[in-house]
Amino acid sequence: MSRVFKLKSSDNETFEVEEAAALLSETIKSSSSTEITVPNVKAEILGKVVEWCNKHAESEDTKDQLIKEWDAEFVSVDQHVLFKLITAADYLQIKELVDQLTQRVGDMIKAKTLKTVEMTYPTFNVEREVQEELKSLGF
Amino acid sequence: MAKKRKISGSCNMANRNKRIKKEEEVQSQNTGGMVVDTYTSQLPELVINQIFSHLSTKSAIRASILSKEWASVCSSVLILDIDEDEGKKQSADHRDRRRKFLKFLSNCLKIREKEKYLEKFRLRMSYFGGDCAINKSLSFALERNVKELDICFKRENEVRKGRYYCLQQTALNNAKSLTILKLEYLKIEEDSIDTISLPSLKTLSLKAVKFMTNTGFSRLYSGCPSIEYLSLTSCHGWDVRLSSLGLKHLEILCCEIKLKVEATNLESFKFRGDNGLRHHIIDMRKNFYIASCQTLRSLEFSHAHFAIGWFKGLDSRFPLLERLVLHTCFSYSGIINIFSQHLKSFVFHECGNILSNFSMTAPNLSEATITIEERRDYDRLRNFLGNFDCSKKIRLHVNETEVCIFPEEMRKKYSPPLPSLKHLEVEIDTFTTVVTHSALMDSLRWMAPSLEFLSINRIHYIYDSRIS
């Protein structure tokens, strides 16, 4: 008989989550109660996190191509939502989800820094920058 | 507001920012409209570090000049990730480019010289001799107790000829902190006296790696007691016997080897049986053995030839099997009967002669993904599809519309292959204009009369909101 956990968002909406999905969260795992309030996380975001957990509870093999495609779509959200998801996943200590979200932010930063540097500092050259840095360190 | 951090060289960030501003005749402190910065400062330090650990060294350097905060995070993230291909080609002369790259590599090491630890070192470059710089960077990383080491010598078109960098086993001997080791296109020179010991290694990935002797791999493997994930790609001539209890995930791709897997706690196994280069299927009949494994959940085969009766007793050999993938596989004119109680997911990709000799009984199947690339004998296709009627969901991927259009005479004579199917997703690569949309719908409705959910190329046609 699997237990059902209740997750409450900051705007008082409750999500019911089955044991297998809920235990993907370390926070829930180490909690003594089956009712957990997630502070500062609204229902829209908490709902998405629950959706991710449900999907990942179904299929344990994270190297599955289909899940990878689903995950890739899951993290393709606007940065505003992305950061809220990270906060929620971090609070709930869902390692795999935090990994995927931070990888996505990393990719976004990578792309944006390239563009911004090209625009703001057009003569910037990475190799030369490193040399200048070395000089200032006394090499 | 991010906490202030004591970081070596932090005053240099301020100097560096000043210098750049002078050079460019300045600019405001903003990050050029990058809203991302306002969000990152609200996240916990560990998470910010994790985000920045995904950046290559060049990206990190760029990020550093855009924001003071990012500069301090970048210098506290102990990662060196240097890829020769990254960035624009500065000059046409490849020798000049190479020289510049090696200089950049050496400079990056110098900047981090004072660090005592390094989390990850990744180097990707082509090999044209010049071992000195590579040896130096390897010892630099290993002296700093690196946890993840990823060395890849890229090749144009995966040509096997050409020089190989020779990695001395002794260099790795004291790598007690190493948890992930990935090596590509190099030779490992074994030490005849000392056995290698990598006590913390969990992930080992070798691609196109050569050893000096036939037993080289076995000796390396036996020095890795904690290994959980092993991947071998394009490695040849080895006698691979895996019987460790800790191994959970195994991948053998395009290797001409003798394979014996007795790792009884294995959870997933992925095998690709062609040569990669010449697309010729490796004959593994005598050289392939995988013991029954009580914990195996996922089996994935691609470009493999199955011996007659290989699938017999699948259920007793792998009682927990949940996922099975057959991609471009062949059977030595045998019949494949798959019976599996726990199978939840089945993926099938165009497998030549298997279609006619295939039967599957998987009462708990949740999802079957079928890809058909050739127009088939519709009779065989109907029989084949019938195997998946019990599945909760079918994804059918075909290259052209005709594949799904069962001839009218057939539809009148025979009963549909999927009478109980409720959920069908169809993906068609090329819609031929000759076929009308209604002809397609007629055929699909005959194929699966009880459908409650139908989508064609992600467009929903029937959607019953009662189904979740």
**Helix B57-66 vs helix B68-76: crossing angle, to nearest 10:** 150
- CA nearest neighbour of B180 among B198, B154, B194, B166: B198
- pLDDT of B34 strictly over 50: no
Q: Do B111 and A130 touch (CB under 8 A)?
A: yes
Interchain contact, B56 vs A110, CB within 8 Å: yes
B:20-79 residues touching chain A, CB 8 A cutoff: 20, 23-24, 27, 31-36, 39-40, 42-44, 47, 50-56, 58-59, 61-63, 65-66
Looking at residue B99, what is its pLDDT? 87
**Do A86 and B43 form a contact (C-beta atoms < 8 A)?**
yes
Looking at residue B422, what is its pLDDT? 94
> Under an 8 A CB cutoff, do A61 and B297 touch?
yes
Residue B396: band (very low, low, confident or very high) from pLDDT cuts 50, 70, 90: very high
pLDDT at B464: 60
Q: What is the pLDDT of residues A93-120, one digit of tens each?
A: 999 999 999 999 999 888 888 888 888 8
Which residues sit opposite B270 in a β-bridge? B251, B300
**What distance in Å separates the CA atoms of residue B125 and residue B184, rounded to the nearest whole number?**
11
Residue B458 has pLDDT above 80, yes or no: no
pLDDT at residue B14 is higher than 60: no
Q: Can you tell me the mean pLDDT for A24-38?
A: 89
E strands present in B235-356: 236-242, 249-253, 256-261, 268-272, 288-290, 298-302, 305-306, 323-327, 330-331, 336-339, 345-349
pLDDT surpasses 80 at B373: yes
Probe site for chain B from A27, A68, A130 (most B CB atoms < 10 A)? A130
Band of the pLDDT at A63, cuts 50, 70, 90? Answer: low
Confidence tier at B227 by pLDDT (50, 70, 90): very high
Segment B114-169, tens digit of pLDDT:
889 999 999 999 888 778 999 999 999 999 999 999 999 988 766 667 789 999 88
- The CA R_g of chain B, rounded to the nearest whole Å, is 28
Q: Classify residue B403 by its DSSP letter.
A: G
More confident residue, B112 or B41: B112
Residues in chain B: 468
Question: ∠ CA(B199), CA(B205), CA(B210), 5° rounding?
Answer: 100
Which pLDDT score is estimated for B306? 82
Q: Look at residue B29 in the predicted model and tell me its pLDDT.
A: 39
For the ranges A23-27, A86-90, B349-353, B367-371, the lowest mean pLDDT is seen at B349-353
pLDDT of residue B207: 95
Cβ separation A103–B62 shorter than 8 A: no
Q: In this prediction, what percent of chain B has a pLDDT beyond 70?
A: 86
Q: Which candidate from A106, A112, A132 shows the least CB-CB separation from B19?
A: A132
Cα–Cα distance between B372 and B355 in angstroms, integer?
A: 10
Give how far A32 is from chain B: nearest CA, Å.
25
Q: How confident is the model at residue B315 (pLDDT cuts 50, 70, 90)?
A: confident
Residue B21: left (phi > 0), alpha (psi -120 to 50), or beta?
A: alpha
Residue B54: which of A65, A83, A106 has the nearest Cβ? A106
Residue B365: the pLDDT is 93
Backbone angles phi, psi at B326, to 5 degrees: -125, 110
Q: Is A27 on the interface with B (CB under 8 A)?
A: no
pLDDT at B6: 41
Q: Is the pLDDT of residue B1 over 70?
A: no
- The number of C-beta contacts closer than 8 angstroms across A and B is 135
pLDDT of B209 > 60? The answer is: yes
Per-residue pLDDT of B421-443, as tens digits, reads 999 999 988 877 777 888 899 99
Lowest pLDDT segment from B179-193, B286-300, B383-397: B286-300
Chain A residues with CB under 8 Å of B40 CB are: 83, 105
Does the pLDDT at position A138 exceed 60?
yes
pLDDT score for B18: 56
pLDDT at B41 exceeding the cut of 90: no
Bridge partners (DSSP) of residue B81 are B122
Helices (runs of H) and strands (runs of E) counted in chain B: 13, 26
Could you give the 3-state DSSP secondary structure of residue B399? strand
pLDDT score, position B190: 85
- Which of A130-134, B211-215, B392-396 has the highest average model confidence (pLDDT)? B392-396
pLDDT at B180: 96
- Does the beta carbon of A1 lie under 8 angstroms from any beta carbon of chain B? no
CA distance A51 to A83: 17
Q: Which has more pLDDT, B262 or B24? A: B262
Chain A CB contacts of B66 below 8 Å: 113, 116-117, 120
Interchain proximity A124–B297, CB inside 8 Å: no
Is-above-0.95 flag for pTM? no
Model pLDDT, residue B465: 52
* Helix axis angle, B94-111 to B131-143, nearest 10°: 20
pLDDT at B36 over 70: no
Say if A127 is an interface residue toward chain B (CB within 8 Å).
Answer: yes
Q: What is the pLDDT of residues B51-98, one digit of tens each?
A: 999 999 999 988 888 888 888 888 888 999 999 888 776 677 878 888
Task: Tell me which of B33 and A78 has the higher pLDDT.
Answer: A78
Interval B287-309 mean pLDDT = 85
pLDDT at B9: 42
Query: What DSSP letter does each residue of B289-314 carry, written as one string?
Result: EE---TT--EEEEES-EEPTTTTTTH
pLDDT band at B276 (very low <50, low <70, confident <90, very high): low
Distance CA B287, CA B285 (A): 6
Q: Does A136 touch chain B (CB under 8 A)?
A: yes
Tell which residue, B208, B67, B54, has the closest CA to residue B127: B208
Kindly report, residue by residue over A36-61, the tens digit of the pLDDT.
899 889 999 999 999 999 988 876 55
How confident is the model at residue A50, as a pLDDT?
94
Find the mean pLDDT for residues B269-294. 78
Position B40 scores a pLDDT of: 66
Instruction: Please give the share of chain B, as a percent, with pLDDT higher than 90.
Output: 39
Q: What is the residue-averaged pLDDT of chain B? A: 83
Which range is most confident: A72-76, A118-122, B461-465? A72-76
Rounded to a whole number of angstroms, the distance between the first and last alpha carbons of chain A is 66
pLDDT of residue B85: 85
ipTM of the complex: 0.88
